[in-house]
Structure 1
Amino acid sequence: MDFTLPDHLPGLLAEMDDFIEREIAPLQADHIQYFDHRREFARTDVEAGGIPRREWEDLLDEMRRRADAAGWLRYGLPSSLGGRDGTNVDMAVIREHLAHKGLGLHNDLQDESSIVGNFPQVIMMERFGTDEQRREFSQAMITGERSMAFGLTEPDHGSDATWLETTAELDGDSWVINGAKRFNTGVHRATHDLIFARTSGEAGSARGITAFLVPTDTPGFTIPYYWWTFNMPTDHAEVELRDVRVPTTAVLGEVDGGLDVAQTFLHENRIRQAASSLGAAQYCIDRAAEYARSRIVFGKPLSANQAVQWPLAELATEAQMVRLLVNYAAWHLDRDHHLEVSDKVSMANYRANRLACEAADRAMQIHGGVGYSRHEQFEHLYRHHRRYRITEGAEEIQIRRVAQRLFGFDRKR
């Protein structure tokens, strides 16, 4: 059993760090208002419903252009799309490494923006799209010419996705979609929304749901408002669909087989989300330990107190266990079908996301009033990673998936 990193990764991480220092750090320094204590306010366009300011997103676009030109952005994509065929293990290690650096333009998780891109929509398109759809969307989604929101959650249905009430009916050579979606992330700039609608079967049935590529300028597609969230700016829209008509070529994957498309999106995101949460947790642990060593209280370092030592020791131990679990799950994903190891991915996801919140909270406590301020990153990291315990499947759903495998419920079905 070998626990060392693949030979190419240490050198790769060093190259990546050099690129960040040369190309990204100076760009960040020129726009520091987006990363210091002003970050939430500088990023948010209050008058436009709380969505991200265009200037902020333009900066993210410039970062991605530089990363793409340097050969980093597409690292995890196949070589056919200009990528480097990065493995799930590669991506887990890289995502942890980048998040461990803390908040920065190199890796701003609030926007799922990173010098090494996470492209679950591209992977979905390559796996389920027709030749024509792949030609139209795959490269365009990497460069930003096309963008796709993800419309699964509804006002009355979240984790119970098979009970969604949005419907699509075939009318000649078109589908007519009616319903509503909630928390449609990124739809404010999206050219298309991937809408999941019931096309056959009964409520609660996994079969009978279809995925549709819906242009956001289609008549009947409206955004009444954006949800203001714990972490701002918001790009989580409420979407209404009233007699939205799309051609039969708008179906992604098989008719009635849309849940397979959704599962691919979720599994690709969950393991990388877990690695990012692990990296953020390690950042908080390390910052808290560093502060405790240097802070003198009652004539001695804060770190001399067991009340400070023990919680951080517990978190450091948990981080090491989660690291092994994340890499183990990623290793299996590189070898097995994602549904075969979904319980391992769920384990890694819910434990890592919870760890990030606990580590940020403890770092705040050790830093005292300064930790509670916006001049440290802990409040921002907490607010962002708290979201991960709900999105991509709430942690209760992740635990249920582990229980299904543990007790054999999935085999009985």
Structure 2
Amino acid sequence: MDLRLNEEQRMVQQTIRRFVEKELMPLENEVLRNELNGKPSLSEEKTNELQKKAKQMGFWGINTPEEYGGANLGQMMLALLTMETSKTFVPFKFGGSADNILYRANETQKKQYLLPTINGDKKSCFAMTEPGAGSDTQNIKMTAVKDGDEWVLNGEKTFITGGNDADFVMVIAVTDKEAHEAKGRHGVTCFIVDRSMGWTSQYIHTMGEWGPASLFFENVRVPEENILGDLHRGYDLGLEWIGFARWIVGARAVGASERLLNMAIDYANDRTTFGKPIATRQAIQWQIADSAVELEAARWLVLNAAYTLDLGEDNRHLASIAKLYGATKGNDIIDRVLQIHGGMGYTRELPIERWYREARLWRIYDGTDEIQRLIISRNLLKGHVKLGAHI
């Protein structure tokens, strides 16, 4: 068992770290000013410029199969890259990728949706959450009724990431009411729906800079050929999408927490009270020690979830563990960092308060803390997973 990065992984990690330090971190003050003035964090022109630079470095389609022009570096590498890019709050995503479930498309759908998304010509989003179906994903109410060769969609989705800018949505709707009411996982289907087909979106203001959308469907007609995957089996696709996203949240928490903890260490050594650096105070030392232990534990939980996926094994249990621990401990670490900085940490002169607001979301989206605990305990109590089985 090798618990160290190999030469290739370390080289890629260091390259991305330099990219983040050279290209992204210098933009942080600009991003803060834009957000304070109600403007987009980065202009589309700047985002395209950054993606172009990343592509020139070979970082395009990190996990996109090579047949589609991607690098296909694997989930472990994606985890490492996410940790590095999360050390800054400058919003940046490597181009050349698409949602994991979009690869389930048939050949016609791939030409119309998958390839344009990978090439950056179209933007997508995924919609499952509803006002009454957040953590309770089986309580979906949005309907799709067959009418000739089309399906007529009615309902609302909410808190949809990317919903304000998407050209099309992969949306989950009830197609067999009786089967759905009898067993919530059954009787729902995933549809690919172009914005031009009639759905609308509305921006949702949040305490952080995340700006999700509500999507509204009123008699939106979708052709039969736009069903993604199998009829009445859309719930499985939804779980597949959510499962992939969970451990990524943990990776984001690790990256941000590492950057912030380093800020706290530097500040503790520089800040003097009563004639001594606060780094000499036990109250500060223990906060830093606890944060360092939690950070390392979260890092390995995330890497284990990613490594298990690379092996082709089911990582859903590990993904929930990584998400739960990473999100909760990331929040704890950021809270301590703010406390160590005192009043300055609470001001907008430093980016800590901005991270503090963003981090609180980690414990909610892609499955709340409570849902992760439910999943983990249920897997163990029902014998679906044995302790130590993933070593």
Fold match, TM over 0.5? Answer: yes
Q: CA deviation at 1:316?
A: 0.6
Structure-2 change in CA distance of 1:365 and 1:152 (3 Å) = same
Is the aligned partner of 1:8 residue 2:8? yes
Q: CA deviation at 1:32?
A: 5.7
Distance in 1 (alpha carbons) for counterparts of 2:97 and 2:325:
23
Is the aligned partner of 1:279 residue 2:266? no
Structure-2 change in CA distance of 1:361 and 1:21 (3 Å) = closer
Q: Which residue of 1 aligns with 2:311?
A: 335
Q: Which residue of 1 aligns with 2:264?
A: 288
Distance in 2 (alpha carbons) for counterparts of 1:19 and 1:285:
21
Say which structure, 1 or 2, has more relative contact order (CA 8 Å, 6+ apart): 1
Q: Secondary structure at the match of 1:146?
A: coil
Please give the per-residue CA displacement for 1:146-195, whole angstroms capped at 9, x wherever unaligned. Answer: 11122111111111111110010111110111111111221222111111
Asked whether the 8 Å contact 1:210–1:257 carries over to 2, the reply is yes
Distance in 1 (alpha carbons) for counterparts of 2:259 and 2:284:
17
Is the aligned partner of 1:202 residue 2:202? no
Is the aligned partner of 1:249 residue 2:225? yes
Q: Which residue of 2 aligns with 1:396?
A: 370
The one of 165, 169, 180 equivalent to 1:193 is 169
Q: Which residue of 2 aligns with 1:309?
A: 285
Please give the per-residue CA displacement for 1:237-287, whole angstroms capped at 9, x wherever unaligned. Answer: 222211110101111111111112112211222222211111111111111
Is the aligned partner of 1:141 residue 2:117? yes
Q: Secondary structure at the match of 1:15?
A: helix
Asked whether the 8 Å contact 1:34–1:56 carries over to 2, the reply is no
Q: Which residue of 2 aligns with 1:169?
A: 145
Distance in 2 (alpha carbons) for counterparts of 1:34 and 1:399:
39
Q: CA deviation at 1:6?
A: 2.4
Structure-2 change in CA distance of 1:286 and 1:70 (3 Å) = same
Is the aligned partner of 1:371 residue 2:345? yes
Distance in 2 (alpha carbons) for counterparts of 1:365 and 1:119:
38
Q: Secondary structure at the match of 2:330?
A: helix
The one of 190, 197, 208 equivalent to 1:218 is 197
Structure-2 change in CA distance of 1:304 and 1:391 (3 Å) = same
Please give the per-residue CA displacement for 1:314-372, whole angstroms capped at 9, x wherever unaligned. Answer: 111111111121111111111134xx321111000111111221111111111111111
Q: CA deviation at 1:62?
A: 2.5
Q: Secondary structure at the match of 1:206?
A: coil
Distance in 1 (alpha carbons) for counterparts of 2:96 and 2:133:
26
Distance in 1 (alpha carbons) for counterparts of 2:344 and 2:120:
38
Q: Which residue of 2 aligns with 1:227?
A: 204
Is the aligned partner of 1:300 residue 2:276? yes
Gaps of 5+ in 1: 46-51
Is the aligned partner of 1:95 residue 2:69? no
Asked whether the 8 Å contact 2:82–2:252 carries over to 1, the reply is yes
Asked whether the 8 Å contact 2:13–2:80 carries over to 1, the reply is no
Q: Secondary structure at the match of 2:43?
A: helix
Please give the per-residue CA displacement for 1:210-258, whole angstroms capped at 9, x wherever unaligned. Answer: 1111111223x233x3221011362x22222111101011111111111
Q: Secondary structure at the match of 1:217?
A: helix
RMSD of aligned residue pairs (Cα, Å): 2.1
Asked whether the 8 Å contact 1:149–1:190 carries over to 2, the reply is yes
Is the aligned partner of 1:125 residue 2:125? no
TM-score when scaled to structure 2?
0.91
Q: Which residue of 1 aligns with 2:30?
A: 34
Q: Which residue of 2 aligns with 1:59?
A: 46
Distance in 1 (alpha carbons) for counterparts of 2:306 and 2:250:
10
Structure-2 change in CA distance of 1:290 and 1:260 (3 Å) = same
Asked whether the 8 Å contact 2:247–2:306 carries over to 1, the reply is yes
Asked whether the 8 Å contact 2:28–2:89 carries over to 1, the reply is no
Distance in 2 (alpha carbons) for counterparts of 1:184 and 1:96:
23
Asked whether the 8 Å contact 1:356–1:382 carries over to 2, the reply is no
TM-score when scaled to structure 1?
0.87
Q: How does 1:65-76 map to 2 (within 5 A)?
A: 65-76=52-63
Q: CA deviation at 1:39?
A: 4.1
Fraction of identical pairs, as percent: 28
Q: CA deviation at 1:59?
A: 2.1
The total of aligned residue pairs comes to 382
Q: CA deviation at 1:376?
A: 1.6
Distance in 2 (alpha carbons) for counterparts of 1:163 and 1:264:
18
Q: Secondary structure at the match of 1:183?
A: strand
Distance in 2 (alpha carbons) for counterparts of 1:117 and 1:331:
23
Structure-2 change in CA distance of 1:409 and 1:155 (3 Å) = farther
Asked whether the 8 Å contact 2:62–2:96 carries over to 1, the reply is no
Q: Which residue of 2 aligns with 1:48?
A: none
Asked whether the 8 Å contact 1:120–1:265 carries over to 2, the reply is no
Distance in 2 (alpha carbons) for counterparts of 1:248 and 1:378:
49
Q: CA deviation at 1:72?
A: 0.7
Asked whether the 8 Å contact 1:166–1:180 carries over to 2, the reply is yes
